[in-house]
Amino acid sequence: MPGYWRLQATAKHTNLHRPVLARLLLLAPTKSGQTSSRFSTPIRTMSSFTLPGSSHSTRVNSTSDLSQDDLLSFPAFNTWISTLQASLAQQKNPGHEFHHDPYILRQIDIQSVDRFGGSRLGFVKLKADVSNGAGEHLPGSVFLRGGSVGMLLILQPDDIPASQEQGKQAILTIQPRIPAGSLAFAEIPAGMLDDSGTFAGGAAKEIQEETGLSVQQDELIDLTSLALDSTQEASGETLQKAVYPSAGEKRMPRREIEELQGKLTGLRDHGEKITLKVVPLESLWKEGLRDGKTLAAWALYKGLKEDGKI
């Protein structure tokens, strides 16, 4: 007699909006034909609520380990939902492509969450059901995380003219990046902003932690904001500022720049194992070509430089 699955559910609450704990048992046959439990795995069911302020009573189905209050106080979720709702509202304009059959956010299914330090919400994976009256759906897989900042840190030996581009160096960090399958991934220094952190303050902090160099906040330039100042969103939508690439230039004795090559840095007690790599600025795009934020920062720097913005 083959083994089979049995679902054994025990309701902890009669309120449908509260989690119910179920246990999945894998049963295997014994010699006498009876079944025995091989292992058991808890299954957490969903809790549901209506998204406050939604014009179409958007239903949110959340995992039992993420409360309504936790989700609605998560800055990344609030930024995403407010941006999406503002974009959907643009369909009211008679000239909008989707005006005659607008898309509606009908449901949000929370699929998984990760927490930092066991309590602070870090990442949320969800699926958004966005469709129109004809039943046409838009892709809605969403991964939410807090804002991040990438730093293009440019070093210039103090024995060359400050206006000279040739001879400038850039710092890359080489460190394990398990999601990329790498133990030696090359990228510009970067990190997530905390809920209360400012862009410049977060960038200066990450530079200190990852390179050991002290850079003042007023020495940093928000390349994304500077580029957006000279462009306009043709769609009328107000979108976020990507990965906030920043540029900081620092003049240093050539010997001190050379001493950074191969230096071990990072917060070791946080699992950071970083080795610094100093490369010519003109070669940065080749050295960091697998890293999107490195290429974004380099392209923004080159474009703004050519336009005379920096």
Mean pLDDT, each 10-residue run in order, the chain (310 residues): 38 39 39 46 70 93 94 94 94 96 97 88 96 97 88 93 93 93 94 62 74 80 82 64 73 94 76 88 95 92 91
Looking at residue 266, its pLDDT comes to 66
Amino acid sitting at position 71: L
Looking at residue 2, its pLDDT comes to 42
Token pair listed for 138: 């838009």
| All domains in the chain, ordered by first residue | 4-44 (no CATH), 47-145 (no CATH), 148-306 (3.90.79.10)
Looking at residue 109, its pLDDT comes to 97
Burial of 239 (0-12, 13-18, 19+ CB in 10 A): exposed
Looking at residue 149, its pLDDT comes to 80
| Cα–Cα separations (whole angstroms), residue 230 to 56, 163, 225, 308 | 36, 24, 9, 12
Looking at residue 45, its pLDDT comes to 62
Token pair listed for 257: 């720049």
Looking at residue 310, its pLDDT comes to 84
